[in-house]
């Protein structure tokens, strides 16, 4: 419709569809009616913590792959990550994997039409986003438990705390079965013995204990001032 409001959750992969000519959120001159902004932070955030995440893909060559096919796949992997191909791919999908592409002169020219995407990736702010991280053991089985329990919280059937407790219990049961089965070898889950919450809260790098005030008074910052953090 072209009416712009704040969107708290944003994948950079959304950008390509948001900059197409002729859509309601793009001006006649090709400039976007919207802007990206630095990631907001909540009451539990402290200096040095991450402020977002990005899914990071990779190319995997299986041990079982025949050598001739593995060689072909390796050549293809080099091709799709080469400088010239990556520049072309990045202009199409607007998802970056190379520093050279981020700093390419063609993106300097295109930056005004991308709503802050280029400025973000050229700034120190991008390292505040964490990559995907360690793979999850048996993702499909664990993921379905996530949605079941989140659904209980969303519908009001359970409190948020009860839903999280239920999710934790269900996922730990799956992880314990994986550990007993030993199907993932030395890279499979290794469960700790159960302890009370305070024990874990006292460990280095632990989750945060519940704050007395989880919703302090919000602070509104001028957009032009906010994005200066991308040029530091």
- What's the pLDDT tens digit per position in 112-142? 999 999 999 999 888 888 877 677 888 889 9
Dist CA 63 CA 11 (whole Å): 33
> How many other CB atoms sit within 10 Å of the CB of residue 36?
20
Q: Give me the tens of pLDDT residue by residue for the chain, a chain 232 residues long.
A: 556 667 777 777 889 999 999 999 999 999 999 999 888 888 999 888 888 887 777 788 888 999 999 999 999 999 999 999 999 999 999 989 999 999 999 999 999 999 999 999 999 888 888 877 677 888 889 999 998 999 999 999 999 999 999 999 999 999 999 999 999 888 899 999 999 999 999 999 888 899 999 999 988 888 888 888 887 6
Among residues 98, 65, 94, the alpha carbon closest in space to that of 80 is found at: 98
Cα(188)–Cα(176) distance, integer angstroms: 10
Residue 100: C-alpha distances to residues 80, 116, 166, 187 (Å): 14, 18, 46, 34
Q: Report whether 184 contacts 137 (CB < 8 A).
A: yes
Task: Point out which residues pair with 52 in neighbouring strands.
Answer: 129
């Amino acid at each position: 419709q072209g009416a712009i409001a704040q969107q708290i959750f944003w994948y950079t992969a959304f950008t390509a569809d948001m900059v197409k000519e002729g859509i309601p959120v793009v001006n006649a001159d090709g400039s976007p009616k919207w802007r990206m902004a630095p990631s907001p932070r909540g009451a539990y955030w402290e200096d040095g913590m991450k402020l977002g995440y990005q899914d990071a893909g990779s190319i995997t060559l299986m041990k079982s792959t025949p050598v001739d096919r593995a060689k072909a796949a390796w050549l293809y992997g080099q091709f799709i990550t080469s400088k010239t191909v990556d520049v072309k791919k990045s202009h199409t999908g607007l998802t970056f994997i190379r520093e050279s592409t981020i700093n390419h002169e063609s993106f300097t020219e295109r930056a005004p039409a991308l709503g802050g995407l280029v400025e973000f990736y050229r700034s120190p702010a991008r390292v505040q986003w964490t990559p995907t991280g360690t793979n999850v053991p048996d993702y499909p089985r664990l993921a379905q438990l996530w949605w079941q329990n989140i659904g209980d919280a969303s519908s009001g059937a359970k409190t948020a705390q009860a839903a999280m407790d239920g999710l934790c219990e269900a996922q730990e049961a799956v992880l314990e079965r994986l550990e007993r089965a030993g199907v993932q070898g030395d890279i499979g889950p290794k469960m700790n013995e159960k302890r009370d919450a305070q024990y874990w809260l006292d460990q280095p790098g632990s989750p945060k204990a519940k704050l007395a005030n989880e919703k302090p008074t919000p602070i509104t910052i001028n957009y032009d001032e906010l994005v200066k953090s991308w040029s530091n």
